[in-house]
Amino acid sequence: MWIEPNELPVNKVQYLDENGKLTNGAPEVSDDELIAMYKWMVQARVFDQRALKFQRQGRIGTYAPLSGQEAAQVGSAFALERQDWIYPSYREGAALFVHGFPMKNFFLYTMGHLKGTDAEGANVFPVQIIIGAQCLHAVGGAWAGKYQGENSVSVTYIGDGGTSEGDFHEALNFAGVYKLPMVFFVQNNQWAISVPRSKQTASGTIAQKAVAHGITGIQVDGNDVLAVYTTMKQALERARSGQPVLVEAVTYRQGPHTTADDPTKYRNKSDVDEWLAKDPLKRIKAFLLDKGIWNEELEQREFALAEQKVTEAFELAANTPKSKVEDIFEIVYEKKTSQLTEQQQSVSSEGVLK
Residue positions annotated with a catalytic role: 253, 257, 266
Query: What is the DSSP annotation of 31-98?
Result: HHHHHHHHHHHHHHHHHHHHHHHHHHTTSS------TT-HHHHHHHHHT--TT-EEE--SS-HHHHHH
The residue among 137, 49, 143 whose CA lies nearest residue 93 is 49
Residue 249 to residue 76: CA distance in whole angstroms: 10
SS3 124: strand
Give phi and psi for 216, each to the nearest 5.
Answer: -85, 140
**CB proximity list for 283: less than 8 A, separation 6 or greater:** 16, 17, 18, 19, 20, 71, 223, 224, 225
73 and 22 Cβ atoms separated by less than 8 Å:
no
Write the burial class of residue 63 (CB in 10 Å: 0-12 exposed, 13-18 middle, 19+ buried): buried
- Give the C-alpha separation, 16 to 286, whole Å: 10
Cα–Cα distance for residue pair 134/182, rounded to 1 Å: 12
Please report how the helices 166-178 and 133-147 are oriented relative to each other, as an axis angle in degrees rounded to 10: 20
- Are the C-beta atoms of residues 30 and 297 closer than 8 Å to each other? no
